[in-house]
Amino acid sequence: MRNILLILFVALSPVMAFANFNTKAQSAFLIDYDSGAEIVNKNGDVLMPPSSMIKLMTLTVLFDEIKAGRLNMDSRLPVGPNADYTNPLWYPASKVCLVSGQTISVRDAILGLIVLSGGDVSVVVAEYLAENENAFTDLMRRKAREIGMPQSTFGNASGLPNPNNLMTSRELATLAEYVISHHSDIYPLFATKRFDFTEHKTDWCREWGRTHTVNYNKLLFIMNGADGLKTGHTADGGYGMVASSIVGGRRLIGVINGFRGNGHDALAGEMKKLLNYGYTTTTTHVFYRPENKIANIPVWYGRNNTVTATVAKTFAVTLPHGTGLHGVRVLARYDDPLRAPIAKGDTIGEIIAEQDGRVIARAPLVAAERVSKTRFIGRIIKNLNIIFGGK
């Protein structure tokens, strides 16, 4: 039997839609981390060159290797000729300044990518994890599809101009959300303001390193609560940034691309304006977090009579500031009874938030624990109980 549990109901009241954010950037996209609500969407689904923001995908593939236990922060990665500082590719580009034949620790590689936007390090990572950089782009593409990025394409690991380097602002936000949620142990490194690489092998590189230590992400220096992620710039594509911040316990993720302002300081100012727009014009209401009990659903042929329904990800809604929860109701829908066996994390229903009859948020209900199936004799006893009026 299909059951609908009304969890919250508030009397109807009209709610205004989010207004447009004024920016000269070619694309701007802003979401609430908990609710996933789009607060700003200017050309969010238009493919554009991501420049060095593509390094977020390079880092993501590397992070997955660490999480799988195949690398750790102290592992050493070899530097090949393609990453050598004398390669003409790196003369005008951002780099850590490496020499073929040396090695670099995974921790320094990560900081070199985050803080110094080292294109040379991206090649080191690519060549270690795949046969070559071209093969590594296949790993990038597969990872993108896995986490819900159907449009992004990759021509290299660094973001240097390549016709195949194309991403949308929406998908860059999806990537940032993945990094924050799936690699929370590594994510704090994105807030690093300065990085001094101490293993330069030539005088030229030591001089380079002496003057290149500060994160290109200037938002970290001008906005309290900003904690990542990555900037980018090419002459053709302009300036771009994927950013996140927490203010008042609420996380927003913003993306700007195709910005023609005067340098990274101007880019940071534009991103701060975008994030503050989200904080001042909208409010997020959290209803349930993972492991919160939402309902006890009866189970048929289970060793337990019920299973606890919860959510895998925080369930929340984002509304215009000052409107409260007028017109919002939250419902849980599920079949009753469920049939055992049920594994922890199995989808067992759906939770929906409606406003004035319109669905504004939905998410799966999942099992908070495992419920195994009763043995054959237990099922016979259960059937006999029902036949003779028991439960």
pLDDT in tens, 187-242: 999 999 999 999 999 999 999 999 999 999 999 999 999 999 999 999 888 999 99
Q: Does 132 have pLDDT greater than 60?
A: yes
Q: Which residues are 255's β-sheet partners?
A: 29, 242
55-67 vs 106-114: helix crossing angle, rounded to 10:
150
Q: β-strands 238-247, 226-234: how paired? A: antiparallel
CA pseudo-torsion sign 209, 215, 216, 218: negative
Structure tokens that stand for 34 in this block:
């908990």
Cβ–Cβ < 8 Å for 52, 158: yes
Which has more confidence, 236 or 277? 277
pLDDT of residue 16: 38
Q: Does 294 have pLDDT greater than 50?
A: yes
Q: How far is CA 32 from CA 122, 215, 310, 320, 352, in A?
A: 30, 25, 21, 12, 17
Cβ–Cβ < 8 Å for 306, 344: no
pLDDT of residue 21: 87
Cβ–Cβ < 8 Å for 253, 176: yes
Cβ–Cβ < 8 Å for 96, 112: yes
Nearest one of 330, 337, 319, 331 to 281, comparing CA atoms: 319
Rounded (to 5) percent helix, strand, coil in the chain: 30, 30, 40
3-class SS at 287? strand
Q: Which residues are 40's β-sheet partners?
A: 30
Q: Does 180 have pLDDT greater than 60?
A: yes
Nearest one of 117, 253, 228, 247 to 177, comparing CA atoms: 253
CA distance 82 to 290: 45
pLDDT of residue 283: 94
CA distance 359 to 311: 17
Q: Does 13 have pLDDT greater than 80?
A: no
Cβ–Cβ < 8 Å for 123, 17: no
Segment 17-66, tens digit of pLDDT: 455 789 999 999 999 999 999 999 999 999 999 999 999 999 999 999 99
Dihedral of CA atoms 94, 96, 101, 104 in degrees, nearest 10, equals -130
Structure tokens that stand for 140 in this block:
């990038």
In this structure, what are the phi and psi dihedrals at residue 71, rounded to the nearest 5 degrees? -140, 160
Cβ–Cβ < 8 Å for 330, 361: no
pLDDT of residue 290: 93
pLDDT of residue 277: 97
Q: How far is CA 273 from CA 42, 140, 204, 266, in A?
A: 15, 31, 39, 11
**pLDDT band, residue 5 (cuts 50/70/90):** low
Structure tokens that stand for 251 in this block:
């996380």
Cβ–Cβ < 8 Å for 237, 258: yes
Q: β-strands 347-355, 315-320: how paired? A: unpaired
